[in-house]
């Protein structure tokens, strides 16, 4: 990125310059790590002390915030910072050089747009389609009859197996595997028998899939990731799972086969979801939750087994008190035992006197 004057950045962000200085901005960083030349952002006024100790040259501030260094006033500093970071991204032509690399292997029956970029040692199978504007990194493998829509970014080492369908503007990070066989078996007289997995994976428009994620093909039909959903690194999505629109799945989430997630479902890290379940629209599951039954729309859950998050927090708060409660119970038992012994002795004495 070439350095920009603060006034140029204000124009890009449709923001208002604060102060008369117009410094040169060469980078961006959070408040704690900002150095001279960096633009940072003030998410909350409570970070004012951190900003004062920061080396930032300029800051993005909200409508009611005031600072002592050059600034740009915007409606949402965090959102504006994200827009500015787009200026710092490496140019796509450097990451994915235009054209088809000489080492790429493309089946004669494949339909690869002349406006696509195909990286070194990539393999494109028979009947596969790659539409205009899409870019494939090195060592990408597209099996037979795969479709990759327009303006997709497919990073190095991705494998899309036979029949998988990817929509437009999809980002697939390194090491993703789409369309591996679902985990389908049944016990037989001669041992565990494999159930053929003859369905596909469908990735709809504007989805992003993090590095190392695996999405299994359906036994029959489709495994679907809905439009605009975001899937983090190292997520496992089982066969015939249906994920709605605008869902967000954090790292190491695991979803078992034939489960349905409504639109806008959010999972924290390491959430486990059982098979043949349904999570309604807008469900939020806290990190490491274990879900083994259906969750109605709009409910927030946490814990294993997952329950309403307010109830789960009360339970965890009680668990912290458990050692002291056990000690109190033990003392009460000891007091009762002592009292019982004393009463028995007193009665015997009275009988003897009589």
**CATH number of the domain that residue 9 is part of:** 3.40.1390.10
* pLDDT at residue 179 in the model: 98
In a domain, 324, yes or no: no
User: Do residue 71 and residue 134 come from a single domain?
Assistant: no
Measured distance CA(34)–CA(19) in Å, rounded? 20
pLDDT tens-digit readout, 324-340: 888 888 889 888 888 76
Question: C-alpha dihedral over 114, 119, 120, 122, to 10 degrees?
Answer: -80
User: Do residue 35 and residue 165 come from a single domain?
Assistant: no
Give the model's confidence band at 341: pLDDT under 50 very low, under 70 low, under 90 confident, else very high: low
CATH for 304? 2.160.10.10
* pLDDT at residue 316 in the model: 76
* pLDDT at residue 295 in the model: 97
Given a cut of 70, whether residue 346 has pLDDT beyond it is no
User: Do residue 217 and residue 272 come from a single domain?
Assistant: yes
pLDDT tens-digit readout, 3-50: 999 999 999 999 999 989 999 999 999 999 999 999 999 988 888 889
User: Do residue 145 and residue 291 come from a single domain?
Assistant: yes
Pairing type for strands 191-194 and 185-188 reads: antiparallel
Full domain range(s) for residue 46 = 4-89
User: Do residue 128 and residue 182 come from a single domain?
Assistant: yes
pLDDT tens-digit readout, 246-296: 999 999 999 999 999 999 999 999 999 999 999 999 999 999 999 999 999
Measured distance CA(219)–CA(196) in Å, rounded? 7
In a domain, 236, yes or no: yes
User: Do residue 169 and residue 246 come from a single domain?
Assistant: yes
* pLDDT at residue 354 in the model: 43
In a domain, 199, yes or no: yes
Tell me the C-alpha to C-alpha distance, in Å, between residue 76 and each of 64, 65, 288: 11, 11, 31
Catalytic residue numbers, as ranges: 239
* Preceding amide of 305 cis, omega within 30: yes
- pTM of the entire predicted model: 0.87
User: Do residue 108 and residue 168 come from a single domain?
Assistant: yes
* pLDDT at residue 1 in the model: 66
**Nearest alpha carbon to residue 73 among 31, 5, 19:** 19
* pLDDT at residue 218 in the model: 98
Which residues is 59 bridged to in the sheet?
40, 71
Given a cut of 70, whether residue 352 has pLDDT beyond it is no
User: Do residue 141 and residue 274 come from a single domain?
Assistant: yes
């Amino acid at each position: 990125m070439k350095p920009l004057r603060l006034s140029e950045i204000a124009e890009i962000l449709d923001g208002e310059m604060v102060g008369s200085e117009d410094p040169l901005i060469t980078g961006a960083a959070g408040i704690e790590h900002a150095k001279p030349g960096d633009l940072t952002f003030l998410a909350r006024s409570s970070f004012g002390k951190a900003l004062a100790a920061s080396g930032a040259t300029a800051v993005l501030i909200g409508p009611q915030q005031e600072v002592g260094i050059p600034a740009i006033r915007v409606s949402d500093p965090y959102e504006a910072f994200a827009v500015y970071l787009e200026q710092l991204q490496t140019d796509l032509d450097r990451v994915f050089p235009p054209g088809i690399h000489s080492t790429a292997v493309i089946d004669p029956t494949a339909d690869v747009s002349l406006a696509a970029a195909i990286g070194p040692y990539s393999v494109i199978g028979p009947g596969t389609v790659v539409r205009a504007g899409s870019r494939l990194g090195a060592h990408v493998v597209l099996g037979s009859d795969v479709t990759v829509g327009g303006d997709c970014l497919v990073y190095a080492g991705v494998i899309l197996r036979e029949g998988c369908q990817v929509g437009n503007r999809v980002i697939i990070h390194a090491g993703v595997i789409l369309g591996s066989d679902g985990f389908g078996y049944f016990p037989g007289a001669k041992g565990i028998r494999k159930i053929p997995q003859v369905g596909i994976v469908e990735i709809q428009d504007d989805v992003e899939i993090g590095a190392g994620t695996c999405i299994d093909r359906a036994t029959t039909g489709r495994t679907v990731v809905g439009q605009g959903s975001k899937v983090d690194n190292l997520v496992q999505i089982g066969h015939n799972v249906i994920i709605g629109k605008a869902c967000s799945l954090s790292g190491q989430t695991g979803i078992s086969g034939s489960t349905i997630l409504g639109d806008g479902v959010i999972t924290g890290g390491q959430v486990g979801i059982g098979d043949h379940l349904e999570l309604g629209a807008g469900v939020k599951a806290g990190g490491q939750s274990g879900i083994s039954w259906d969750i109605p729309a709009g409910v927030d859950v946490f814990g294993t087994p997952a329950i309403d998050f307010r109830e789960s927090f009360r339970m965890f708060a009680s668990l912290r008190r458990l050692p002291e409660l056990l000690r109190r119970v033990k003392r009460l038992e000891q007091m009762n035992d002592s009292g019982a012994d004393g009463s028995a002795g007193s009665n015997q004495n009275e009988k003897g006197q009589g």
